[in-house]
Amino acid sequence: MDKRILGLILAALLLGAPLLACSQEQPLGEKVETTACVTCHANLVVCTNLDQDRSYWESTVKRMVGKGMDITEEEEKAVVDYLSGLEPGSEPVCK
Ligand code: HEC
């Protein structure tokens, strides 16, 4: 194979690697919110409540689990941590 082509492939792989690593580093709470919470309703209902405190999110997430949301205890805690730390209007919950 042409050395230049090999060089290009190598460069593409090297440039792509940090992007891949980045997507894997999405915080667990954010991942749960953007995948599990949107299966029943739009993010908008979450977005409009971002000014709420931790106890609101603890009880709300528990209620969502009661409605059939299937997440582990670790994911539940992560999403509560995530949502109680977000400023109103934060992306990707609000966009
Ligand atoms: C199994 C379906 C389901 C999943 C998954 C789900 N919800 Fe809900 N959610 C509902 C329904 C249905 C409502 C409508 C209000 C009601 O019935 O109490 C709702 C309403 C809400 C509301 C509106 C305010 C309120 O108190 O009713 C918020 C905020 C909310 N959900 C947050 C979340 C978050 C955060 C997640 C992910 C951790 C989530 N939901 C996942 C079903 C779900």
Q: Let me know if residue 69 belongs to a domain.
A: yes
Any domain includes 7 = no
For 18-79, the DSSP string reads: HHHHHHHTS-HHHHHHHHTGGGTS-THHHHTTTTS-HHHHHHHHHHHHHTT----HHHHHHH
Q: Ligand 1 centre and the CA of 45: distance in Å?
A: 7
Question: Residue 66: CB within 6 Å of ligand 1?
Answer: no
**What's this model's pTM, rounded to 2 decimal places?**
0.81
CB 37 near ligand 1, within 6 Å: yes
Q: What is the pLDDT along the chain (95 residues), one digit of tens a residue?
A: 677 765 655 566 555 665 555 556 899 999 999 999 999 999 999 999 999 999 999 999 999 999 999 999 999 999 999 999 999 999 999 98
Residue 57 belongs to a domain with what CATH number? 1.10.760.10
Domain range holding 46? 27-84
Asked if the structure places residue 17 within a domain, the reply is no
Q: 92 lies in a domain?
A: no
Domain membership flag for residue 54: yes
Q: How many distinct structural domains can be found in the chain?
A: 1
Nearest CA to ligand 1 atom 22: 45
